[in-house]
Chains A and B, each alone.
Chain A
Amino acid sequence: MSTAAVLDRAVPVTRRRRGGWSWLRGVAITVVTLVFALPVVWMFAAAFKTNVQVTDPTVGLVFPPTLENFANVLADGAILPAMGNSLLVGVVSTVLSAVLAVPAAWAVGRFGMRSTGSLVLVARIVPAISLLVPWYYLFAQAGLVGSYTVLVLSHMFVSVPLILWIMISFFEGLPVELEEAARVDGLSAFGAFLRIALPLAAPGTATAAVLAFVASWNNFMFALVLADENTETVPVALFSFISYASTDWGGLMAASALMTVPVVVVALLAQKHIVAGLTAGATKG
Chain B
Amino acid sequence: MRFSRRRFGTLVAATAGTAALGSALGACSTPPVTRDTPLRMLAVNHVWTQAIRKLLPEFEERIGRKVSVSMLTADQLASSYNVKLNASATDIDVMMVRALQEQGLFAHNGWLADLTPRIQGDPDFAWDDVQPAPREASTVAGKVLSVPVVTERSVLYYRKDLGPPPSTLDELRERALQLTDRQKGFFGFVGRGQRSGAVTQWSSFLYSLGGDFVTDGRSRIGSPEAIAAYQYYGELLGKAGPPGATNMSLEQAMPIFAQAKAAFYVDADAIYSNFLDPKVSIVQDTVGFAPFPAGPAGSRPYNIPSWSVGINRFSRLQDDAWQFVRWASSRETVEKIQAAGIPGARTSVWADDKSLATFPAELAASMRVNAENGVGHDRPKVLQVGRARDIIGRPLVAGILGQDVPPVARDADAELTDFLVRDNRHQGI
Residues of A within 8 A of B (CB): 50-52, 55-56, 115, 129, 132-134, 136-143, 145-146, 224-225, 228-229, 239-240, 242-247
A246 to B273, CA, bound (A): 9
A240 to B22, CA, bound (A): 34
A–B pairs, 6, beta carbons within 8 Å: A52-B258, A55-B255, A133-B87, A243-B73, A244-B46, A244-B73
Within 8 Å CB of A140, what residues of B? 30, 87, 89-91
With a cutoff of 8 Å between Cβ atoms, the chain A residues found around residue B271 in the complex are 245-246
Query: Which residues from A are CB-within-8-Å of B47?
Result: 243-245
Q: Using Cβ atoms and an 8 Å threshold, which residues of chain B touch A50?
A: 279
CB contacts under 8 Å to A, within B79-95, are: 79-80, 83-84, 86-91
Q: Mark B237-281, 1 if CB is under 8 A from A, else 0.
A: 000000000000011001100110000000010110110000111
A-B pairs with lowest CB-CB distance, top 7: A55-B255, A137-B87, A244-B46, A245-B271, A142-B28, A243-B45, A138-B25
Spell out B's residues near A (CB within 8 Å): 1, 7, 22, 25-31, 44-47, 68-74, 76, 79-80, 83-84, 86-91, 250-251, 254-255, 258-259, 268, 270-271, 273-274, 279-282, 307
Residues of chain B within 8 A (CB-CB) of A115 are: 1, 7
A51, A138, A243: the one contacting B22 at CB < 8 Å is: A138
Residues of A within 8 A of B80 (CB): 224-225
A52 engages B282 (CB within 8 Å): yes
Q: Is the CB of B76 within 8 A of A239?
A: yes
Contact with B258, one of A55, A139, A146, A225 (Cβ below 8 angstroms) = A55
Of the candidates A141, A242, A247, the one whose C-beta lies within 8 Å of that of B25 is A141
Asked if residues B46 and A245 are in contact (CB atoms below 8 Å), the reply is yes
Is A136 a contact of B45 with CB atoms below 8 Å? Answer: no
Distance in Å: Cβ of B305 to nearest Cβ of chain A: 14
> A246–B274 contact, CB under 8 A?
yes
B70 near A239: Cβ-Cβ < 8 Å = no
Q: How far is the CB of A120 from chain B (nearest CB, A)?
A: 11
Tell me if B84 and A142 are in contact (CB < 8 A): no
Residue from A132, A139, A142, A240 in contact with B71 in the complex, judged by beta carbons closer than 8 Å: A240
Closest A residue by C-beta to B46: A244
Q: Is A141 within 8 A of B30, CB to CB?
A: yes
Closest Cβ of chain A to B91, distance in Å, is 6
Are the C-beta atoms of A245 and B268 separated by less than 8 Å? yes
Q: Are A145 and B259 in contact (CB under 8 A)?
A: no
- Give the docked Cα–Cα distance between A52 and B283 (Å): 11
Q: A132-B83, A143-B30, A244-B44 are in contact. Are A239 and B73 (CB under 8 A)?
A: yes
Give Cα A243 to B50, complex, Å: 10
- Inter-chain contact A138/B26, CB cutoff 8 Å: yes
Partner of B280, one of A132, A228, A246: A246
Within the assembled complex, what's the spacing in Å between the Cα atoms of A52 and B277? 10
Contacts of A244 in B (CB 8 A): 44-47, 73-74, 270, 307
Cα–Cα, bound, A50→B279 (Å): 7
* B280 & A229 in contact (Cβ 8 Å cutoff): no
B46 touches A243 (CB 8 A): yes
Smallest beta-carbon distance B312→chain A, Å:
13
Cα–Cα distance between A7 and B281 once the two chains are bound (Å): 70
- A87 and B44 CA atoms in complex are apart in Å by 26
Residue in B69, B83, B307 whose beta carbon sits within 8 Å of that of A133 in the complex? B83
Of the candidates B31, B44, B273, the one whose C-beta lies within 8 Å of that of A143 is B31
Expressed in whole angstroms, the Cα–Cα distance for A201 and B82 within the complex equals 43
Residue contact B281 to A52, C-beta cutoff 8 Å: yes
Further contacts, 17 of them, CB under 8 A, given A141-B29, A243-B45, A247-B251: A52-B258, A55-B255, A132-B83, A133-B83, A136-B83, A140-B89, A140-B91, A141-B30, A143-B28, A224-B79, A225-B79, A228-B68, A239-B73, A239-B76, A243-B46, A244-B47, A245-B47
